[in-house]
Structure 1
Amino acid sequence: MGQNSTASLQTWAQVAPTLVAIAAGRAAADRVIRGGKVVNVHTREVLDWEVAIAAGRFAYVGPDATHCIGADTEVINANGSYVIPGLCDGHMHIESGMLTPAEFAAAVIPHGTTTMFTDPHEIANVMGLEGVRLMHDEALMQPVNIFTQMPSCAPSAPGLETTGYAISAEDVEEAMAWPGIIGLGEMMNFPGVVAGDAQMLAEIAATQNAGKTVGGHYASPDLGPAFHAYAAGGPADDHEGTGEADAIARTRQGMRAMMRLGSAWYDVESQITAITEKGMDPRNFILCTDDCHSGTLVNDGHMNRVVRHAIDCGCDPLIALQMATINTATHFGLERELGSIAPGRRADVILTSDLTTLPIDHVIARGVDVAKDGKITVDCPHLDWPGHARQTVNMGPDKTAQDFEIAAPDGANHVTARVIGVVENQAPTQALSADLPVQDGLVEAQGEVCQIALVERHKATGGVTNAFVSGFGYSGDMAIASTVAHDSHHMIVVGTDRAHMAKAANRLADVGGGVTVWKDGKEIGLVELPIAGLMSDSPAAEVAAKAQGIVEAMVACGCTLNNAYMQHSLLALVVIPELRISDLGLVDVRTFDTVPLFEDVR
């Protein structure tokens, strides 16, 4: 593929004499970019300046780099393009792309993403600290900057779910010494923090003692004392806001408001008015993706998509760029290292012909060309994943239709059941109720309501939790199963027919994990995710094509929701209101307690 930048980047201290000499005109740069308009995100200016690069870093940024050019210097003519910093994603989960770190990097580099702050809490729930280390190690091999946040909550809500592994405060303390760890992943157990839970506070303390950043996750509309208690607990940011009031509340407490645009989360437009209308200081706001489907990455973009969307929502392009570059770097204590085009920083640069539509014409990372005209030009090295990482679907004996039966209470003809209500383009669900009939002693789903089951897949207990869900619009005989089931990552099966549900579950056990859709007795969509049941090490385009097949299969089953698979994968996320499913039963996230499936029997 051409140039490769897998060698370790030298520190500023190691190359400072060279950078100083080039800036002073005593030595020549490796590369100089001329003829462009440099976007200075420190001052929100566009300057007719030139840029000199050496040893993977910026040496000179100023009006004339002639004195930096020697016989062997490569001069890049920007031809009037804007020269902007490489884009940073402030909060994301690589596993949500169904890709390994290497393949995720290969997918987003052509879109101008040169820095990612990733929380691998998905694999932590399946493989524990070993899984986090594997993600961390492959991240460090990439030609762009991938920093890892040590997951804080596995399980996300102790006592309400059972995971494959649990993360301890000692694990967090150990990981803080790893070279690629930048901080603590999102603190999802916000009730634990509010209640002063010793383990949660110990994890936060270990992170702060290491001088690193604590990620937040306050998924509650309550902005009263509970929110203030959470802020006092130490989280430095939060990406769970869904409205203007959320963004304002967080920044007023000294937190950064992270506004996300993922494949299914559209929370930028509703919060950016805090800047565009209320005039809040934009340096306290950060753009991120959180969860991006592989199809989104391949077809629509990554952080460039988020920046464009923010601009479309009325944000000044230079402010939008700040929120995807320097704001993010500053938040993680890396302002002197990346996030801007300034001396000493990593030479992460994009050339684009327009600041509003943001076409990504040329991407440079650490001084090396990594993408041109939408095509990657470097290799993204793969880790040699151990065999047991591909053998994580352990659900016990094959399932039958009987495993998905929901027995009615003795003598009942009808029941009123609790139902998980899916909300399009939002992470929260609704806690609904439905009157359902009883036939031959079994409660039957009908109309908009279909069955949902959580199949235990970590320890082969054979356990199946059955309940009801609505909002997908499924009809006919069908089922969809996935081993991506945030955050416990058991297996989630949704269907209108119990035999199809059994077929779907067994299929994923056979292939080692992934997503499968069945209709009228046949499999009509499959994505194999053999690594931890979460990721594939196949190229992103191949995974995206299969993922698109899942979308089309869901439509064939009657579903018309935008990115409905993302909604499916979150149905077991017991830290986001209102109603979820776990291996321990139905969870009312408003009260953080399990609740009975039936509200009334008659």
Structure 2
Amino acid sequence: MPVKPVERFEDVAPQLVDVAMGRAPADLVIRNARWVNVHSGEIVPATDIAVAAGRFAYCGADASHAIGPATEIVDAAGRYVVPGLCDAHMHVESGMVTVTEFCRAVIPHGTTSMFIDPHEIANVLGLDGVKLMHDEALAQPVNVWVQMPSCVPSAPGLEEGGAVLGPAEVAQAMGWPGIIGLGEVMNFPGVVANDPTMVGEIAATRRAGKTIGGHYASRDLGRAFHAYVAGGPEDDHEGTRMEDAVARVRQGMKAMLRLGSAWYDVAEQVKAITEAGLDSRHFILCTDDCHSGTLVRDGHMDRVVRHAISLGLKPITAIQMATINTAEHFKLEREIGSVTPGRRADFLLVSDLPTLIIDAVYARGMRLAEGGQLTADLPAYPYPDTAKQTVRLGHRLSATDFAVRAPGDAGATVTARVIGVVENQAPTRSLTADLPVLDGLVGIDMEADVCRIALVERHRASGAIVNGFVSGFGYRGACAMASTVAHDSHHMIVVGTSEAEMAQAANRLGEIGGGVIFIQDGAERALIEMPIAGLMSDERAEIVAAKADRLIEAMREAGCRLNNAYMQHSLLALVVIPSLRISDKGIVDVERFELVDLLV
């Protein structure tokens, strides 16, 4: 089935009027449905819904006047008609697959609109990479809008990635048809300090009349927070506490509550609604980051909505937070977010509302999935060779590249800074540990769960490597995991207990052009090839999910018990989220936004 283009409302409005009046037949009529109306907050029984030209034309008690000889009729038999679900903030690259494969995975789960921030590929390929994903997004049978990445690199001065974007590039992209706004403004110190780049990008977005995404990853809700809001960002998904959600909504922002593969931030923040009684229409649900295994096995936005309902929200409230609230935030309420006349006919047939059992998924009036299976044909989208072979190491690595030399006056131990992983959250802890010194080199302490981490520069073949220590993975024996997915600069992160295995893992990714690999006792235990910018596979989502399952299994066999440890691994270089991170320039204290010594 070819992709159905979106008909402009102004071009088809007379046809919608004729269908509503009975002067013209509908393309599709859903009969005897329970209408989940997100505007009125009610469920209207015994409703008929007529669709023409890919848009809703009539929602009322009887649509028999809109039925013609060629009209497709679907008897809902009392099932619920729910607006298609929207993911307000997400990164396709975190799914390890292309936009097309991501859509293939999530459509059966009821997602019909996505707002993607491709700042991963932007940090590797710059504006050309954003354009590649933008153009692929336009080719989908569902709505995929693109937020122009705002922070490339995410923290100038603290990291250097593969590209630099600024106000000129943002202004240029604002004219592209699929750009909906500015992606998450992660450089919150830059906003607070009136950094010219941040000021210029935000101004370009406001001039275009588009939405500015936020990312305030500090727990400080004092002057800096107020200044950040005053600078222009309109939403934020980085809250983890009830008071974070309250503060954002009080300041006029939309609080985005995320449930991704490794981020579980809904439960605490939803208390702002269920306990503090704040208006739910200013809260939005999103995923941020979901890997392919989560998408294939557990779902996407349907998973988030079910989770929110399980925490005490009424089903209609949770659905509003994944439909109309999102649409209004992006100024798209006339296009998506509700089952009402004039909007795109994106909807779900649901047999049980509290558990959100989705029987069928429609987008633009066409059925795309039924019974949890995709029925539409989504042809693969070709990426050019220029988007591949982006892993450039400079030289073949050896075990000595991952050694940490102790100071000349060191005794039997040294005190080192250690990045502490926080399970199911993006922030890390800033820890210290006393580590042994042997033959002038600093060792690790597996009993205390301290192993090695290294960042290998991979964009310019400089050969630069920054070494450090990390805690929380629980690895035992000689093992290492390497990944060219390393938010946001996307150098290569290698975590391991053995320098030899770390070198083996890094060299292997250099050979194949990027991905994720796990090595144990010299053997390759798991591998996910990601040749597109070192970030995405060109294989089917279910194949990537199976490889991701094998990766998780290999990590567990080596002692790791973290939930979704791969996602935790991939964020260890994200120098805009506290507290301690690693970059190509060194160890970063994100609380102070400055480089610090590894050894105290």
The TM-score normalised by the length of structure 1 is 0.98
For residue 415 of structure 2, what is the aligned residue in structure 1? 416
For residue 468 of structure 2, what is the aligned residue in structure 1? 467
Residue among 183, 204, 215 paired with 1:185: 183
- What amino acid is aligned across from residue 79 of structure 1 in structure 2? A
SS at match of 1:410: coil
- Give the Cα–Cα distance (whole angstroms) in 2 for the partners of residues 69 and 8 of structure 1: 23
- What amino acid is aligned across from residue 387 of structure 1 in structure 2? D
Cα offset, 1:303, TM superposition? 0.1
Contact 2:97/2:536 (8 A) holds in 1: yes
Which aligned pairs between 1:89-238 and structure 2 lie closer than 5 A? 89-238=87-236
SS at match of 1:208: helix
Which aligned pairs between 1:29-40 and structure 2 lie closer than 5 A? 29-40=26-37
For residue 72 of structure 1, what is the aligned residue in structure 2? 70
- Give the Cα–Cα distance (whole angstroms) in 2 for the partners of residues 74 and 175 of structure 1: 40
Deviation readout 1:164-195 (Å, 9 max, x if unpaired): 00111100000000000000000000000001
Deviation readout 1:84-106 (Å, 9 max, x if unpaired): 00000000000000010000000
Cα offset, 1:271, TM superposition? 0.4
- What amino acid is aligned across from residue 461 of structure 1 in structure 2? S
Which aligned pairs between 1:298-309 and structure 2 lie closer than 5 A? 298-309=296-307
For residue 502 of structure 2, what is the aligned residue in structure 1? 501
- Give the Cα–Cα distance (whole angstroms) in 2 for the partners of residues 320 and 527 of structure 1: 35
Deviation readout 1:339-361 (Å, 9 max, x if unpaired): 00000000001001111111111
Contact 2:4/2:364 (8 A) holds in 1: no
Cα offset, 1:228, TM superposition? 0.1
Contact 1:142/1:381 (8 A) holds in 2: no
For residue 277 of structure 2, what is the aligned residue in structure 1? 279
- What amino acid is aligned across from residue 177 of structure 1 in structure 2? G
- What amino acid is aligned across from residue 33 of structure 2 in structure 1? G
Unaligned runs of 5+ in 1: none
Asked whether 1:367 is paired with 2:368, we answer no
Residue among 5, 8, 26 paired with 1:8: 5
For residue 44 of structure 1, what is the aligned residue in structure 2? 41
Contact 1:492/1:569 (8 A) holds in 2: yes
Contact 1:138/1:382 (8 A) holds in 2: no
- Give the Cα–Cα distance (whole angstroms) in 2 for the partners of residues 469 and 548 of structure 1: 23
- Give the Cα–Cα distance (whole angstroms) in 1 for the partners of residues 366 and 382 of structure 2: 25
- What amino acid is aligned across from residue 505 of structure 1 in structure 2? A
SS at match of 1:598: coil
For residue 344 of structure 2, what is the aligned residue in structure 1? 346
Contact 1:141/1:380 (8 A) holds in 2: no
For residue 437 of structure 2, what is the aligned residue in structure 1? 438
Contact 2:306/2:356 (8 A) holds in 1: yes
Cα offset, 1:62, TM superposition? 0.9
Residue among 20, 24, 37 paired with 1:23: 20
For residue 81 of structure 1, what is the aligned residue in structure 2? 79
- What amino acid is aligned across from residue 491 of structure 1 in structure 2? M
Cα offset, 1:382, TM superposition? 3.2
Deviation readout 1:544-596 (Å, 9 max, x if unpaired): 00011110010011000100110000000000000000000000000000000
Cα offset, 1:7, TM superposition? 3.6
SS at match of 1:60: strand
Deviation readout 1:374-422 (Å, 9 max, x if unpaired): 1111122333211021110011111000100110000312110000000
The TM-score normalised by the length of structure 2 is 0.99
Deviation readout 1:10-47 (Å, 9 max, x if unpaired): 10001011000000111100000001101000011111
SS at match of 1:533: coil
- Give the Cα–Cα distance (whole angstroms) in 2 for the partners of residues 460 and 595 of structure 1: 25
- What amino acid is aligned across from residue 432 of structure 1 in structure 2? L
How many residues get paired?
596
Cα offset, 1:63, TM superposition? 1.1
SS at match of 1:506: helix
For residue 561 of structure 1, what is the aligned residue in structure 2? 562
Contact 2:267/2:308 (8 A) holds in 1: yes
- Give the Cα–Cα distance (whole angstroms) in 1 for the partners of residues 396 and 5 of structure 2: 47
- Give the Cα–Cα distance (whole angstroms) in 1 for the partners of residues 511 and 312 of structure 2: 49
Cα offset, 1:246, TM superposition? 0.4
How big is the alpha-carbon RMSD for the aligned residues of Structure 1 and Structure 2? 0.6
- Give the Cα–Cα distance (whole angstroms) in 1 for the partners of residues 255 and 289 of structure 2: 17
Cα offset, 1:428, TM superposition? 0.3
SS at match of 2:201: helix
For residue 585 of structure 1, what is the aligned residue in structure 2? 586
- Give the Cα–Cα distance (whole angstroms) in 1 for the partners of residues 469 and 71 of structure 2: 65
SS at match of 2:342: coil
Unaligned runs of 5+ in 2: none
